[in-house]
Structure 1
Amino acid sequence: MQVATQDKALHGKVALVTGAGKNIGRGIALALARDGAAIVVNGRADKAAVDAVVGEIEALGGKAVAAMGDVSDPAVPPRLAAEAAKAFGGVDILVSNAGLRRQTSFLDMSFEEWREIMSVALDGAFLLGKAIIPQMVARGGGAFVALSGVSTHVGTSNRCHVSASKSGLEGLMRALAIELAPHKVTCNALAPGAIDTARGAAAGPRPVGDRLIPLKRFGTVDEIAAMVRLLVGPEGTFITGQTIHVNGGEFLT
């Protein structure tokens, strides 16, 4: 089945998705590709995983390129922007999903670990925005979505650095929503709850069980990807400056 056809809602759009080699990032990249967007698939180190996602998109009839790099490195986001411009002419949709999971108690946490976690999620979003938003402005507008998380709202032991980075992301999106509105760039955060994903060893055990979720189940990657798709598509152009919670009722705004 071909995806990049004229009748797709995102046909002609270009999306850069960071942390897109697996789990939520992969799901978002595939969802946007199915609706017609060309995808710049970013990952930090696992080139095989990123290439596999590119292959999946191409198998669907879509367009995609791999673009490796650590988004917390100030030299990387400008390079990603240049690669996107070379491949597809520029970016309309930026999904800042890259982040690191760690579980370390505050009393045992080093400043180096604190900075490492903060740099990928928060500094990375800042650097990506600086590199990509000028392309959006030149293309007449766009959408910027940053992935936050429920733990910053409910409080979670051993993850103060993760919670702080996600709180910062939400503040960044609110501020940019106002500043970039004249350029027709929407900016939103999306806060997933407990999602059924593969967790690396460094992430530790899940900080919440489904007993604490009113819907009594974990969410799916596809449910997160569908909300991102709404925010960046034509149906989402009047939504900006928001934190959208997809958590099965674990946290109520």
Structure 2
Amino acid sequence: MGRLEGKVAYITGGARGMGAELARTFAAEGADIVISDICENIDTVRYDLGTKDELEAVAEEVRSLGRRCVAEVADVRSQKQLDAVTAKALQDFGKIDIVCANAGIHGVAKFTTMTEQQWDDLLGVNLTGIWKTAKSTAPSMIERQSGCFIITASVSAREPLPEYAHYTTAKHGVIGLARSLGVELGPDNVRVNTILPGPIDTYLNDNPVNRDWAAGFKGATTEDMHAAIRNWHNLRGRGALPAKAVANAALYLASDEAEHVHGAELVVDAGHLLLPGFNHSPVQPEGYPRRPNEGYNPYAD
């Protein structure tokens, strides 16, 4: 018997990456699954987002494990679309036990040159989308006096990075929102916890633009990205962490083993936040030899 036998889990951003791994992991432990994703690109995001074909492929993987799956296209910035997914889930499964508010996008820009659309899109998905997901799903949990929210934040919820004002703001806001949800939902026996991942080995990081950004030079390979990220971690030999690392943390929080865990902020970062400060862009003395393309930033193009 699986750790989530008889449960129903709804996962946003489920077409690939961490969302897809959450769906597979939860299904393997006995849960029926609801996944949603926007399934179209956002103009201010410099890499391709998940597709409807990818969403359906994840649904087929879930079904191959003997579990039921609802897969719907929905933008977390749209309350109407989220409400439709929730209604479909309740119609088909009768309940939602677990919500993984996982949908997120990435971007880099100086705050002085960032456009309003860049700011609005990133906060709309990464922060407001969590509020709207909770608004949609919490009422049925309150009615049943049972449920669990697992919210994807980031180590950026605890530290700033340069050219990350919108992302850092959103992730700091996620922690504040999660704490507020926890205070309100705790008396209804609905648990709320967050996961703070470091860099994860998904397409969000392993795409041409973000490989160059992580490595700091043009034409970076996947291994260049991992090599750069090894500077980020305290545990030996870790590049970008597997999505399974986040899914395993979420599995614990979703299971009965965590029935008394509420308001936790579980860090999955190979010890990054243990490290002392590091100047990512020190001023070098005149004449210091530079690597070809060193300091390249694809977001400055």
Q: TM-score, normalised by structure 2?
A: 0.78
Q: Between Structure 1 and Structure 2, how many residues are aligned?
A: 247
* Paired AA for residue 222 in structure 1: K
| DSSP-derived class of the 2:158 partner | helix
Q: Which whole-Å deviations, capped at 9, do the CAs of 1:97-153 have from their partners, x for residues lacking one?
A: 111111112121012210110011111111111110111122331110110111232
Q: Which residue of 2 aligns with 1:15?
A: 9
Inter-partner Cα distance in structure 1 for 2:54 and 2:245:
21
Q: Give the ranges of 4+ consecutive aligned residues of structure 1 lying more than 6 Å apart after TM superposition.
A: none
Q: Which whole-Å deviations, capped at 9, do the CAs of 1:50-95 have from their partners, x for residues lacking one?
A: 1000000111111111111101112112111101112211211000
Q: Which has the larger radius of gyration?
A: 2
| DSSP-derived class of the 2:194 partner | strand
1:104-119 equivalence runs, <5 A: 104-119=109-124
Q: Is this contact kept in 2: 1:148–1:192, CA < 8 A?
A: yes
Q: Is this contact kept in 1: 2:76–2:133, CA < 8 A?
A: yes
When the two chains are superposed, the root-mean-square deviation of aligned CA atoms in Å is: 1.6
1:13-52 equivalence runs, <5 A: 13-45=7-39, 46-52=51-57
Q: Which residue of 1 aligns with 2:229?
A: 209
Name the stretch that deviates more: 108-117 or 212-221. 212-221
Q: Is this contact kept in 2: 1:103–1:203, CA < 8 A?
A: no
1:80 paired residue among 62, 65, 85: 85
Compute the displacement of 1:172 (Å): 0.9
Q: Is this contact kept in 1: 2:5–2:30, CA < 8 A?
A: yes
Q: 1:152 to 1:90 in 2, by over 3 A?
A: same
Q: Which residue of 2 aligns with 1:252?
A: 274
Q: Is this contact kept in 1: 2:79–2:136, CA < 8 A?
A: no
Q: Which residue of 1 aligns with 2:95?
A: 90
Task: State, as a whole percentage, how many aligned pairs show the same letter.
Answer: 30
Q: Is this contact kept in 2: 1:28–1:225, CA < 8 A?
A: yes
The question of 1:144 aligning with 2:164 is answered no
Q: Is this contact kept in 2: 1:173–1:187, CA < 8 A?
A: yes
Q: Is this contact kept in 1: 2:9–2:33, CA < 8 A?
A: yes
